[in-house]
Amino acid sequence: MPEVLAVNGRSVCPTDAAVSACDRGFLYGEALFETMRAYKGVIFRLDDHVARLKGSAGFLGFGDNLDAAALAQAVRSAVAESQLADAYIRVTVTSGQGRGLTAKPVGDHTVVVEVRQLAPYSPHLYERGARLMVSRYHRDERSPLTAHKITNYVLTVLAKREAAAQGYDDAILLNSRGEVAEASVSNVFIVKEGVVLTPSCERGILPGITRQVILDLCPASGLRASEVPIGVDALFTAQEAFLTNTLMEVMPVREIDGRTIGMRAPGPVTRELARQYRLAVEREVLH
Amino acid sequence: MPEVLAVNGRSVCPTDAAVSACDRGFLYGEALFETMRAYKGVIFRLDDHVARLKGSAGFLGFGDNLDAAALAQAVRSAVAESQLADAYIRVTVTSGQGRGLTAKPVGDHTVVVEVRQLAPYSPHLYERGARLMVSRYHRDERSPLTAHKITNYVLTVLAKREAAAQGYDDAILLNSRGEVAEASVSNVFIVKEGVVLTPSCERGILPGITRQVILDLCPASGLRASEVPIGVDALFTAQEAFLTNTLMEVMPVREIDGRTIGMRAPGPVTRELARQYRLAVEREVLH
């Protein structure tokens, strides 16, 4: 089976897959998701993704009966059923069914797991480096929601569409102070005087799983890493810049708003961290 | 039939009502809704609600094939089928089915219309006046999304739960400048030196249909109305304050963060505007 869509543990044909019209995810956006990647059928950092989702569900008030182990097992089962080696996985969890803004959900969470053949980013993009624009849209670092992977991706869609319409590969969103927050679906890193820098969690970012892996890998590569505010000027004058997320891993950035970043992409630090990331994947899932 | 739930024009039992798990409203929050009220079976300001939704769909990039007249007719049909005189109506419209953040939806919009017996706010609340708190959560007036009734109501739910947990009837949300934006699901008005004041649309509010009706009714009552920034101090020292939305109409405010507003609620201007609103309803739907 090339593709699996499982709703509340039951695998269904994608055209038949349905959730209740009274689901609070549908009605009120009370829903979280995670995107994961499987390598040779093994999901990288599954527990980290499930822990983040569970933590966010707690923040939103529907974490209590959410069983992290069962959720992880549901994802593993769907991947196994797909028989896919390199897979894209999305798990969506809502608070359940319930009408009325502050109503307690009736019954259980809704859990949708989707597994598809991974459609990797173009190798050309990794060689050439991504061309980005600074978006007119921003992340609100003061909102407590920004740090949670809530299904409301409307602003992200607008930013991505704007970037595509202007011929860019993606967009960087600033926060309301004008500092760098993140790219549309990835975290932003720059290299300055040999130090790896990325905005800290309170600057309007999603605390990415890949972002954390990269931060953890720096010392082993003899690199110093720091979470600091990054202004637009610092971005433009960086020696290197790269993006991270689960699906893209480490993506070099070539230029931003038409200005070339550093000497050439990918720079040596970006290449080293991309290599280290692959080694971490091999250690954890390809053994 | 006491209740109607119609999905894409087909009336279904609420427990069976389903939308696709690949619906972009469910996956990405690409969905809008409107709440309406029927009096004696006639929907007040139906065209205004449909026009607002259609305008927002255009902003979000899925307005093109959305037929406003057909949407209005779908709402009217559901209300007629319910045979309810005083009804709560919610219509939810998503961009349709489609996986991938910037994918074009496949096929038509998803339209869910829900009609239920109106559960009015307690008469006691109108007599006593609502007791509000100023929320720790805020509306981001710089976000272009704040003015659109997107289904993402997570922050609203948090604000309402916080207010209820602390014994308040509702919460007022400031914007990021510290000015009054709106209450959790209603617009805020105050009366100062006899003038009716409410935050303007760029201050982080949803441009309410009821809000506009009230603004339009002021001249006929010999009242001057103005859309201005309202600081927290101005709120606390107002002669009167009231909230408006489709379901509550005009709700007097008695106190905010424990401080009594004006002399007593409801004040004379609030009472007059509540009366004028009812007269407008009678003119338009109860003839």
User: Tokens 């109503």 belong to which residue?
Assistant: A103
Contact B29 A138 (CB under 8 A): no
The pLDDT score that the predictor gives to residue B15 is: 84
Contact B140 A144 (CB under 8 A): no
Is B151 in CB contact (< 8 Å) with chain A? yes
Q: Does B117 touch chain A (CB under 8 A)?
A: no
Rg (CA), chain B: 19
Per-10-residue mean pLDDT for chain B, 287 residues long? Answer: 87 92 97 98 98 98 96 98 97 96 90 97 96 98 97 97 97 98 98 97 97 97 97 96 98 97 90 97 88
Answer yes or no: do A138 and B138 touch at CB < 8 A.
Answer: no
Strand partners of residue B225: B196
The alpha-carbon radius of gyration of chain A (Å, integer) is 19
From A33, which residue of chain B is nearest by alpha-carbon distance?
A: B27
| CB < 8 Å from B in window 174-193 of A | 176, 184-185
pTM (predicted TM-score): 0.97
Q: What are phi and psi of A226, to 5 degrees?
A: -150, 140
ipTM for the predicted complex comes to 0.96
Residue-by-residue DSSP string for chain A: ---EEEETTEEE-TTT-EEETTBHHHHH--EEEEEEEEETTEETTHHHHHHHHHHHHHHHT--TT--HHHHHHHHHHHHHHHT-SSEEEEEEEE--B--STTPPPBSSPEEEEEEEE--PPPHHHHHH-EEEEEEEEEE-TT-TTTTS-BS--HHHHHHHHHHHHTT-SEEEEEETTSBEEEETTBEEEEEETTEEEE--GGGT----HHHHHHHHHTGGGT--EEE---BHHHHHT-SEEEEEETTTEEEEEEEETTEEPSSSSSPHHHHHHHHHHHHHHHHHH--
Is the CB of A17 less than 8 angstroms away from the CB of B14? no
Give the residue among B81, B130, B97 at the shortest CA–CA distance from B28.
B97
Sign, CA dihedral B158-B159-B161-B166, equals: positive
- Enumerate the residues of chain B whose CB falls inside 8 A of the CB of residue A26: 19, 23, 25-26, 31, 92, 151
In chain A, whose CA is at the least distance from the CA of B149?
A: A28
- Residue B264 near residue B246, CB atoms below 8 Å: no
Distance from CA of B193 to the nearest CA of A (A): 34
Residues of B in contact with A155 (CB under 8 A): 143-145
Rounded distance between C-alpha atoms, residue B32 and residue B52, angstroms: 10
**DSSP-assigned states of every residue in B200-235:** -GGGT----HHHHHHHHHTGGGT--EEE----HHHH
* Per-position pLDDT tens, chain A of length 287: 569 999 999 999 988 899 999 999 999 999 999 999 999 999 999 999 999 999 999 999 999 999 999 999 999 999 999 999 999 999 999 999 999 998 888 889 999 999 999 999 999 999 999 999 999 999 999 999 999 999 999 999 999 999 999 999 999 999 999 999 999 999 999 999 999 999 999 999 999 999 999 999 999 899 999 999 999 999 999 999 999 999 999 999 999 999 999 987 799 999 999 999 999 999 999 77
pLDDT of residue A131: 97
Do A144 and B154 count as a contact with CB atoms less than 8 A apart? Answer: no
pLDDT tens across A213-257, in order?
Answer: 999 999 989 999 999 999 999 999 999 999 999 999 999 999 999
